[in-house]
Structure 1
Amino acid sequence: MNRLRWIPAMVVTAMLAGCSLPSLTKESTVVQSTNTKDKEETTIIPSMQIDNQYYRTLLPYKESASRGLIVSNINTKYDIKEAESGLLRLSQQAFDPDKYFFQEGQYLDKNTVNSWLARSSQDPAGLNPKTTKNMSPTERAKTAPIYLAHIVEQNYLQKTGKNKVKLAGVSIGLALNSVYYYQKEQYGATYEEPIPQAVLDAQGKKIAAQVVKRLRQIDGLSEVPITVGLFKQQSRSAIVPGTYFAYTNVDQGSAQIKDWKKINEQYVLFPTSDANNKYRDINENFNYFKQDIDKYFSNYTNIVGTGFYQNNKIQKLEIQIPIKFYGSSEIIGFTQYMSGEVMDQFPKGLQVEVNVTSINGPEALVVKEANADEPYIHIYND
């Protein structure tokens, strides 16, 4: 099949990013100013930048000061990924990837984040509503649910002169609950209380105002620009991630939020029964793709797709195909045929990524970049 282009394993990660392959060049060493009592540390800025929409990361890599909390505070693996990657995407509007370098948050440690996530009746610094002993679980759920589930911090650094970089911006993602889970009695059944979007919007903005004021009191954060995004996480049973729905940029040195901007992003599961016109065309493409594979290959469990929409227009489609194949030849044959269907059934301008998996793990990867004439294909070796 002329359309196929095989790629080695070492470049699969770059293909997942949906961008062209960069050339590898030498790294440059700089001295990083840490903004803490003039302490300086030696660090490395990689010269390689995968694409101008991705930040270069300082080395050695510094883990977040609150690392690990997101796993216990966010409902699903889909929201864990999107809460972080969505904030990266949002930050690009304030901090140009060509001029800034990325570092995980170094200022909000585990104790601080846990303190801020508490109820104000449990911790004086708690940002969630207070409750009283007289309130029933149902009353708490309806009048004082937990709104703030987690806080994501990202730091952005910039060169200040020859061989020096320093903190030049901070992004904060406030992950908010769309559903509050509670029990009426210990070890009893778990109940759900949906939180209306209007309430989530108002409470999120109220919490954000307090967070910005507190950030300004932290050593090193009094002057840098701050971006704050409000993230709506999905329910525990959701298989698509939530999205950021509003953001604000706080000027250098300011502790006041002037205004908020709406974000129109959404993840949609395919196939979908939603008759909404903005999903109809891609849903038809997806169903034709699925039907054509059904004709020749029935040895898989189910095909599902996740479409990412911005401003009501689809930007990317990710497809998961779990299979029961065991033979290498069978996997290769399936991947060849499926790759042709990807090129035939989906619009040329749409980026499509297909992951084929089995009980043994990843089996194949197919990536069709927007407007590409042929897909990238990788068959994983045993």
Structure 2
Amino acid sequence: MTPAAADPEEERRARAALTRVLEPGDERAGRLLRERGAVALLRELTGPRPGPEDPAGPDGRRFEGYRRRASTADPDRDLAAAAAVGARFVCPGSAQWPSQLDDLGDARPVGLWLRGLPDLRTWALRSVAVVGARACTPYGAHMAQALAAGLAERGWVVVSGAAYGIDGAAHRGALAAGGATAAVLACGVDVAYPRGHAGLLGRIAAQGLVIGELPPGGHPTPSRFVQRNRVIAALTRGTVVVEAAHRSGSLVTARRAHGLGRHTMGVPGPATSGLSGGVHELLRGEGVLVTDAAEVVELVGAMGELAPERRGPVLARDLLHPDTARVLDELPVGRPVRAEDLARAVGSGTDEVIGRLYELHSLGFVERQGDDWRLSRQIHGRATRTGGVRRGGH
């Protein structure tokens, strides 16, 4: 059943009113909204009571709950309250609506209240969620902040939930880098929650975006925090979890992201840390291990945005010709050796070995003592500490 087309402004006002009526993520209400349209559904909720053939269910109790809320909804009041704090309302069909939220189906937000100037649709196209434990360790806070700063410096929007711990560290990292960040709340965008992040939320609103499904004054509840996670997951190109216990809500975000076809990533921690247990479980399943912003962008970015190749430092030993390295490997530790004896050990001619020894001498690897050759003092000391000279290190 396709609802009749409504005037865009009338549709926007109706959806603004419905954010005070319908709970975030209520799929049953979302189905009614899809089938009837916002304007018709609001009229039905505020008009005469329906008869016994109520499509909301045999007893209509849920529909009655909608009606009680609808009786006090005043979209003009809410829109004015939002404007007073520099906020606005966007909904499906408007220019700033991120179409990726439509992937949520009937759990799609009725609309979003935004505090801040940037265009949400544009920002969401190049965004990454960074989430994790509230009671994080200094390691987790450092990793979240560094990761967010690196993403912001590369032109990516860092999205999180403004909670204590990892969320706050991610927002601060992006802000410190002069980059873009967005906070998705489980309350109204005019509500400072948690209270200790009032200043942080003010900075995010000034430099980025504060986003919420609830109208001005809306308060958070446990279920609303859970539903907030689906918006973070759907809005972004991928979700990175930095520290999370096995029952962490951030894992809900990551798995919802995976179910929506988004990239799911995790930053590993100590194997003995309970706060990293959930991340490690994620990495054993659908998650991809990442350690910095470059590795995140390699997954979520455009083709060719590759992380640099990881390798240890290049040592002088690594640059030797294989035949020269073999001569070096055969030199005994702690005693000199003659060139002809070394040649037999190597399986090469004496003149060839002498040439390799002079090359090693010029590079400081060996010393000459009359007709004998031995490892230089520096190389000898390293070999003694490590139990011998081995290819690839000393």
- TM-score normalised per structure 1: 0.22
Give the TM-score taking structure 2 as reference length.
0.21
Greater share of strand: 1
- Structure whose residues are more often helix by fraction: 2
Q: Kindly name which structure, 1 or 2, has the bigger radius of gyration based on alpha carbons.
A: 2
